[in-house]
Amino acid sequence: MRVLVTGGAGFIGSNLVDRLLGDGHEVTVVDDLSTGRLGNLHQARQNPGLPVSFQRLDITSEALEVAVEKAKPQVVMHLAAQIDVRRSVEDPVHDAMVNVVGTVRLLEACRTAGVEKLIFATSGGCIYGEPGAEDLPVAESYDGHPESPYGASKRGVEEYLHTYGALYGLRWTALALANVYGPRQDPAGEAGVVSILAGRMLDDLPVTIFGDGEQTRDFVFVDDVVQAFVLAMERGHGLRCNIGTGEQTSVNGLYRMLADITGYRRPPEYAPERPGEIRHAALDAHLAAAELGWRPERTLRAGLEQTVTWLTG
């Protein structure tokens, strides 16, 4: 198939591109390199036999329509986004410009180019707001409201997906991702607690935990997330599916596991909790199991070991 991946030079997107090429698909990557790196596509691009092309462009620009029309993809995987929750609070207009307006431009391009299916990366950690302990792991039917502009923009896009499905018959699946971790997550970035902690431990630098460290997250390995995108090419039409393990791991627990893997000996330093962060998160992925045939394969320990190996490689 011809597949177009927006955000394909990013952490998750580039892992997805490698998998799609490995599966024999023809891939066009669209990315403005605002947080992604061309180096993430090195493996894909260094092999002259692989059918991959790269278009550096902003999804909010008119050039997007031309790129989609030229690539004529059957499937679009949409991962390009403003992903920084705190930045979305500071500059909600920019967040909406990229995440909402950019996506509507992409949907229009899909419509005119006759794209059959769009798979969207939404945020399982932000679209449901702050579910109570009794609602965890949270299911797709949970009726919470986002507490950040980032969560609101992701949720808003889901409404557009319904609309484009109804108006034009565009097939879509929204994958609500838990906390994704793994190779290529930027240790200097904002998003990934795993890569930040592991990166600092490997450099034997002090590690700061915000709050008491008993806040929990649902950590899912990037290869498992990539598998969900691949399955959604054929299945799960018109649905939001949670992609997570359903298990809560505390930041203190994560710290201990990473310290053990990296041989780090220092105790953590604790700093005041950051405002706006949710206390507990975990996603119920039964719908993904039933509709996509998806299950997380990698244990946290195995995924962390692979991430640390990549960071040291």
Ligand X SMILES: NC(=O)c1ccc[n+]([C@@H]2O[C@H](COP(=O)([O-])OP(=O)(O)OC[C@H]3O[C@@H](n4cnc5c(N)ncnc54)[C@H](O)[C@@H]3O)[C@@H](O)[C@H]2O)c1
- Choose between 188 and 265: whose C-beta lies nearer to ligand X: 188
In this structure, what DSSP letter does residue 101 have?
Answer: I
Query: Helices (DSSP H) in 85-240: which residue ranges?
Result: 85-90, 92-96, 102-113, 149-168, 193-202, 222-232
Contact partners, residue 1, CB within 8 Å, separation at least 6: 25, 26, 73, 74, 75, 233
Residue 9 in the binding site for ligand X (CB under 6 A): yes
Residue 27 in the binding site for ligand X (CB under 6 A): no
Residue 60 in the binding site for ligand X (CB under 6 A): yes
Per-residue binder mask for ligand X (CB under 6 A), 83-122, x = binder: x--------------x---x------------------x-
Residue 294 in the binding site for ligand X (CB under 6 A): no
β-strand partners of 283: 138
Is 150 among the residues known to form the active site?
yes
Residue 148 in the binding site for ligand X (CB under 6 A): no
Please give the size of the binding site for ligand X, defined by CB under 6 A: 28
How far apart are CB 154 and ligand X at their closest, in Å? Answer: 7
Per-residue binder mask for ligand X (CB under 6 A), 175-194, x = binder: --x-xx----------x---
Structure tokens at 288: 């993904």
Which member of 128, 150, 255, 264 is catalytic? 150
Among the residue ranges 34-42, 206-214, 260-268, 294-302, the one whose residues contact ligand X (CB under 6 A)? 34-42
d(CA 230, CA 143): 28
User: Is the Cβ–Cβ distance between 217 and 191 less than 8 Å?
Assistant: no
Residue 207 in the binding site for ligand X (CB under 6 A): no
Q: Which residue among 3, 79, 157, 282 contacts ligand X (CB under 6 A)?
A: 79
- Choose between 196 and 263: whose C-beta lies nearer to ligand X: 196
Residue 31 in the binding site for ligand X (CB under 6 A): yes
Among the residue ranges 88-96, 173-181, 278-286, 291-299, the one whose residues contact ligand X (CB under 6 A)? 173-181
Diameter of the chain measured on Cα atoms: 58
Among the residue ranges 80-88, 166-174, 247-255, 304-312, the one whose residues contact ligand X (CB under 6 A)? 80-88
Buried b (16+ CB within 10 A) or exposed e, 208-223: ebeeebebbbbbbbbb
Read out DSSP for 42-94?
HHHHH-TTS-EEEEE--TTSTHHHHHHHHH--SEEEE------HHHHHH-HHH
Q: Which residue among 55, 88, 103, 123 contacts ligand X (CB under 6 A)?
A: 123
- Choose between 93 and 134: whose C-beta lies nearer to ligand X: 93
User: Is the Cβ–Cβ distance between 241 and 140 less than 8 Å?
Assistant: yes
Residue 77 in the binding site for ligand X (CB under 6 A): no
How far apart are CB 122 and ligand X at their closest, in Å? Answer: 6
Q: Are strands 179-181 and 249-250 parallel, antiparallel or unpaired?
A: unpaired
Residue 172 in the binding site for ligand X (CB under 6 A): no
Residue 32 in the binding site for ligand X (CB under 6 A): yes
Q: Which of 246, 184, 165 is nearest to 7 (CA)?
A: 184
Residue 11 in the binding site for ligand X (CB under 6 A): yes
Buried b (16+ CB within 10 A) or exposed e, 115-135: bebbbbbbbbbbbbbebeeeb
Residues within the interface to ligand X (CB under 6 A): 7, 9-13, 31-36, 58-60, 79-83, 98, 102, 121, 123, 177, 179-180, 191
